[in-house]
Amino acid sequence: MIEACKGGQIWWNEEAAVYADCIDLVTEIGTVQYSQCLREANGVAHEIAKYSYENHLSCNWVDDPPSCILQSLSNDVSVLR
């Protein structure tokens, strides 16, 4: 996905919706720099996917993150420092 967002390739398969969402967000934000992070710094993504899969739900939040990812948020920030 990072390579597609950098313009290295375009995917027209199951990742196309994620790619389109990324491009929409970039147009709203302005200048964006893409980079990959270590798996150890991506615990939040894992927890969200796991929670959604186990509970068969999809949701959005605007202000406060769901309690199921609070510990992972703290861990991910620590790894990135």
Render each residue's pLDDT in the chain as its tens digit; 81 residues: 666 666 666 666 666 777 788 788 888 888 877 777 777 777 888 888 888 888 887 777 778 888 888 888 887 777 655
Q: How far is CA 45 from the centre of its chain?
A: 6
Token readout for 35 is 């980079």
The DSSP code for 39 is: G
Distance between CA atoms of 43 and 62, rounded to whole angstroms?
A: 20
Distance between CA atoms of 81 and 72, rounded to whole angstroms?
A: 14
- Decide if 40 contacts 79 (C-beta within 8 A): yes
